[in-house]
Amino acid sequence: MLDALFQRFHPHGAAYHQAWIDVLEEMLAPVGRASFAREEPYTGRMLAELLLTSSSPAALADAERDDFAAHFVPLFNGEYVLRVTTEVLWARVKAPQT
């Protein structure tokens, strides 16, 4: 269901990449990185509601989103464990070139 909905808003697919980090490093300095992971338990309903906040479902008009949710939420039964990773990036501002 989400794939079909995503296709409506992104008919040519997603173009996600990390090129913005290269631009940031050119302007600032090498980017330092760290990541931290933890696991979070979710009920099926919590997971479905989390997925409904993503951009494509959130972009629907209220009535269409409610109809979508009425069919989508019941598909999630049981318990889920999601691995949540937080990535931290940092850089120092380069000294001006003289």
Query: 16 — phi, psi (to 5°)?
Result: -90, 135
List the chain pLDDT tens, one digit each, 98 residues: 778 877 877 777 665 555 777 777 777 777 788 999 999 999 999 999 999 998 889 899 999 999 999 999 999 999 999 999 998 888 777 677 77
Q: How far apart are CA 77 and CA 57, in angstroms?
A: 20
CA dihedral sign, ordered 38, 44, 48, 49: negative
pLDDT given for residue 14 in this prediction: 61
pLDDT given for residue 13 in this prediction: 67
pLDDT given for residue 16 in this prediction: 54
Q: How far apart are CA 92 and CA 94, in angstroms?
A: 6
Name the packing angle between helices 62-72 and 44-51 (round to 10°). 150
pLDDT given for residue 18 in this prediction: 56
